[in-house]
Each structure stands twice: as structure tokens, then as C-alpha cells.
Amino acid sequence: MTGKSDKSRESSKAPRMPRKEYEAELKRLHVELVKLQRWVVQQGMRICIVFEGRDGAGKGGVIKALTERTSSRIFRSVALPTPTEREKSQMYVQRYISHFPAGGEVVIFDRSWYNRAGVERVMGFCSKKDVEKFFAFTPLFERAVVESGIILLKYWLEVSPEEQQRRLEDRINDGRKTWKLSPMDIRSFGRWDEYTRARDEMFIATDTSWAPWHIARSEDKRRVRLNVIRHILAQVPYREVRDEKDARLPKRGKLGAYQSPDYPFRYIEEKY
């Protein structure tokens, strides 16, 4: 935490970034992400990125911007559903560990084991004792993760109540976004202070030197996407992997030597 109040953070909003400027910078950062991807594969690196924040904070948009130009086999996004009865009987972090990266992989958690410190706590899905155990265990667990050689990055996206409300109402009114709105979003909406308290206590208990929390203001979706990608690139040491030879297309064989049969191929209607 920066020590500033929510009110002071919300009042420091910059004007929305113009689309043209955003797209130009995003293209530049995507080139760097591709370089990072090749370096991760070559070096067998393991990177784990955690995104947390309130409903409507923009986690999905940041993850989409982070992954849309990289390989889904290397940059894997994980968004786990409600745990099954079998998973509920396991050690709490067990179902998350099974998705951790192997060599040459970047795994991105859209919500993570920190569900216990946030939504599970606020909505009454776990006990106070469960939360206390989580706070005692998590720093030790994350130290073991880091000491195993995994680069662990944790991001909290900070959004104001006004912007959150605008985004959630947009999900209700825009037919393209209704799938983003869950019953839990509605139930959680009236508990702003409870989530603020849960966030602050989570930071105090789990913001460590080996796995610190990084906070990104997300009032402007374009700015937060660029800022987070830039920060990730700065946290991971990488170099450009150059090919031994410049890639060139080979000479194409003679066209027309093969004739397709007179077959009734089913082309779709070209309405546009």
C-alpha cells in the first residue's frame, strides 16, 4: 500500500488515454512480450502471475491484453470455477498448485488462492479461523514457491466505487457483456467497506519481500493494461532470442499443376 487513502487515490485520475496512442504503445509492448515468451521457452523459466481486485476492476481485460499476441500453450490463463466437493476436502491451495507452471511456461491466475482472503471471507464461505490459518500459511507457501525458482508476481487492480458501479451497470445493459455479470457480483456490490477491510488485512499479512503486492490503478482500462504489461516486463530479466538465419519464405512450387475435383464444397453464405 502507498499509505494514501482510497479517496486520494481516486482523485488522481488522469484523462482517458486516446485509442490511437493506446494501440501504438500496446503494439510495442506486444513485441516485447513475444521476445519474453521466446526467452522463457529457451531458458525454461517458470513465471506465475496473480491478478486480484474487486468485481469490475478490469482483471479480464488486462489478462486479454497480456495474452492476445502470445501463445496460449506458453502463456496459460487459469480461472478456476467453484470448487467441487472433492476439492473442498483437499488442502486449500492444492487445486491451484496443479496449475503451476512447468519449464517454459507463464501461468496467469484470474483470481487465485487469495479468494480465501477476499470473496470467501466477505461472503461468509469460510470461517474466521480459516482466514487466520490462510494468513499464517500463505507467506510460507509463497516463499517455498519462490525458492523453487518460480517468479511470482502479484497484482491488485484498484478501482473506485463510482467506476465499479459504471462498469457493472454496463454489464447489465450491454448484451455483449451480460456473460460477465454473475450473481456473486450483485451480492457483493453492497459490501464495499467489507472488501476494503479484507483487502487491507490481506496486504498486511501477505505483502512480503519475496512476494510483494503490486497495486495498479484501473480507472482507465487502457492505461492499466499498458502499466501492468510494462511492469511485468521490468520484473523478468530477458533478452531477445535471435534466429541463426533470417526467416525467408522458400520458393513456391508451380501453381496449377493440381486440379481440385468437381466436388460440391459447402461454402458459407457471404453476407458481408
Residue 241 inside a domain? The answer is: no
Query: Per-residue pLDDT tens for 185-204?
Result: 888 899 999 999 999 999 99
What pLDDT shows up at residue 1? 44
Residue 271 inside a domain? The answer is: no
As beta bridge partners, residue 75 has 106
Number of domains in the chain: 1
∠ CA 61-14-164, nearest 5°, is 45
Contact present, 215 and 156 (Cβ < 8 Å): yes
Residue 93 inside a domain? The answer is: yes
Higher pLDDT pick, 56 / 2: 56
Confidence of residue 6 (pLDDT cuts 50, 70, 90): low
Residue 113 inside a domain? The answer is: yes
Q: How far apart are CA 166 and CA 138, in angstroms?
A: 34
- Report the SS3 class of residue 77: strand
Residue 156 inside a domain? The answer is: yes
CATH assignment of the domain containing 171? 3.40.50.300
Residue 161 inside a domain? The answer is: yes
Task: Beginning with the edge strand found earlier in the chain, give each strand of the sheet holding 213-217 in spatial order.
Answer: 75-78, 105-110, 46-53, 151-158, 213-217
| Containing structural domain, residue 83 | 18-235
Q: What pTM value is reported for the model?
A: 0.89
- Report the SS3 class of residue 189: coil
Residue 268 inside a domain? The answer is: no
Query: Per-residue pLDDT tens for 145-169?
Result: 999 999 999 999 999 999 999 999 9
